[in-house]
Structure 1
Amino acid sequence: MTETTAANGTPCAIVTGATSGIGAAIASALAAEGYALLLVGRREAAGQAMADKFRAQGVEAAFHAADLSDTTAPEAVVQAANAAFGRVDVLINNAGILIQGTAEDTTDADWNRVMDINLNSVFRLSRAVLPALRAQGGGAIVNIASDWALVGAKGALAYAVSKAAVAQLTRCMALDHAHEGIRVNAVCPGDTDTPMLAAGLTGAARAQRVAEYGAAIPMGRIGTPEDIAGVAAFLVSDAARYMTGTLIPVDGGASAD
């Protein structure tokens, strides 16, 4: 269990981008640790099916459909968690999009869309959840950034800049709220086997591209969603109770190379 468990019920975690990839793996990891889950995403059918699956396993779970680029969405997400479970203990800011391109290739619309989802929604949802975390005497926010928040990236300008900003948001919020028992950390994944990776490729073409990515990583493979989920679950656990403001690369050594 976690440091945020209190006498008034099961601890609740909000997970954004929860219906596939890293978000789904994090939700499963937190369910195994005894959390109630508010799953947040845009794909309602997939989200409801996922919540049903968790409930069939005895896990308290609900789905809330939201486009996090909507400035009203964060308050609605927190309200949904409070309505379903009466509390919030953990926020996992995982939702994100990747639009590739150099500065010349990136339109204003592309730039704004990436910033709205990858950065602005993280800021707004983190801000919105603070009163609920205080009500529990503290809690944990984990932002899913990228190893491109730590090193330069080629051909993914908007994405890399948005994730670097998430890294700085993590540090600043950690300092602002440490005295309240609210810890803010970030996981920085490298190439991970999710639908976002090698988007548009299928079958043998995708397998070849994934193998090429893996060959360039010191550990010889790309990450799995479970690799990332394990670190996120650690960061919200009591084992990480003295950690805040950290950026943890989970990239097979790529950012150290």
Structure 2
Amino acid sequence: MELTGIESTVALVTGAGQGIGAAVAGVLAGAGAHVAAVDRNAEALATVVTKLEAEGQSARGYRVDVCDSEAVDVLVRRVEDELGPVGILVNAAGVLHTGRVVEMSDRQWSDTFSVNAAGVFHVSRAVARRMVGRRRGAIVTVASNAAGVPRAEMAAYAASKAASAHFTRCLGLELADYGIRCNVVSPGSTDTPMLRAMLGEGGDPRQVIEGSPAAYKVGIPLRKLAQPRDVAEAVAYLVSDQAGHVTMHDLYVDGGAALHV
């Protein structure tokens, strides 16, 4: 199926410096979007943008911390001044702190929510304010299957992703009158730097695939990790014309790991 409605559209992608965000930027740029790639890591962002430009794609990097509300407002204004009206927003920026709740610091909790929840709010609000007047647009938030399934030693991450997912669905309800669609993609274990860091040095991805009965965690029925592009393709579908009657939906891309109903 050829996806339409992406070509020549300005797509703002947060967390574009690596992992799923970088894959989303690549897939949308490959579909003809003008990508505003956003990340707080300038070096990683430059690498992604340089690669896309070398492939003949349209991409420009913007170094911004999504935790900073004022900086986000300036960013969106700058993107629209330089590239044109934002028609697609993908919230892919995210951080992960693992550990038991009784050992977690206030800083770890607040840092997780600052990026994963407040960051989604800041960017979505800034973009939505402009989309409303144009009465069109598509917003996708990359959450996690951990938002719907309890995970040991992942409370802050899971709770922050649940917050961002439900926020996005509520936003979709508010913006439906303006023809703006808001959806969620919830990946499971995906082969990204974040997962590799969580596994630690010498960690074996097979333990994720097999699951852990001791942690009440089932494995992945499809017997493989997701690749970042698997998630990016799901995002691309949801922002395309082919998903024109889909809003407030949460699409799990986890190989069946959440046994999601």
TM-score > 0.5 by shorter chain: yes
| C-alpha RMSD of the superposition | 1.6
Using the TM superposition, give the Cα deviation of residue 84 of structure 1 relative to its aligned residue in structure 2, in angstroms: 2.0
Letter in 2 for 1:33: A
- In structure 1, the gaps of 5 or more residues are none
Letter in 2 for 1:164: A
Residues 141 and 183, structure 1, Cα contact 8 Å, conserved in 2: yes
CA distance in 2, matches of 1:11, 1:133: 13
Provide the secondary structure at the position in 2 that maps to 1:80: helix
Residues 34 and 58, structure 2, Cα contact 8 Å, conserved in 1: yes
Using the TM superposition, give the Cα deviation of residue 42 of structure 1 relative to its aligned residue in structure 2, in angstroms: 1.5
Using the TM superposition, give the Cα deviation of residue 122 of structure 1 relative to its aligned residue in structure 2, in angstroms: 0.2
Provide the secondary structure at the position in 2 that maps to 1:154: coil
Q: CA 1:256 to 1:188, structure 2 compared with 1: closer, same or farther past 3 Å?
A: same
Where does residue 181 of structure 1 map in the other structure? 179
Using the TM superposition, give the Cα deviation of residue 4 of structure 1 relative to its aligned residue in structure 2, in angstroms: 6.8
Output the TM-score relative to the length of structure 2.
0.90
Residues 217 and 252, structure 1, Cα contact 8 Å, conserved in 2: yes
Provide the secondary structure at the position in 1 that maps to 2:69: coil
- In structure 2, the gaps of 5 or more residues are 211-218
Provide the secondary structure at the position in 1 that maps to 2:86: coil
Q: Aligned to 2:22, which of 17, 21, 24? A: 24
CA distance in 2, matches of 1:81, 1:100: 34
CA distance in 1, matches of 2:248, 2:75: 24
Q: Aligned to 2:58, which of 42, 57, 60? A: 60
CA distance in 2, matches of 1:54, 1:199: 26
Residues 6 and 31, structure 2, Cα contact 8 Å, conserved in 1: no
CA distance in 1, matches of 2:63, 2:150: 34
Q: Aligned to 1:153, which of 147, 151, 154? A: 151
Where does residue 209 of structure 2 map in the other structure? 214
Where does residue 96 of structure 1 map in the other structure? 94
Alignment of 1:1-257 (within 5 A): 2-3=4-5, 10-199=8-197, 201-202=200-201, 205-206=202-203, 208=204, 210-215=205-210, 216-256=219-259
Provide the secondary structure at the position in 2 that maps to 1:76: helix
Report how many residues are paired: 249
Provide the secondary structure at the position in 2 that maps to 1:183: strand
Using the TM superposition, give the Cα deviation of residue 36 of structure 1 relative to its aligned residue in structure 2, in angstroms: 0.3
Misfit runs of 4+, over 6 Å:
none
Output the TM-score relative to the length of structure 1.
0.92
Of all paired residues, the percent bearing the same amino acid is: 38
Letter in 1 for 2:184: A
Residues 10 and 88, structure 2, Cα contact 8 Å, conserved in 1: yes
CA distance in 2, matches of 1:56, 1:135: 35
Letter in 2 for 1:46: A
Q: Which moved more, 1:70-79 or 1:170-179?
A: 70-79
CA distance in 1, matches of 2:71, 2:94: 15
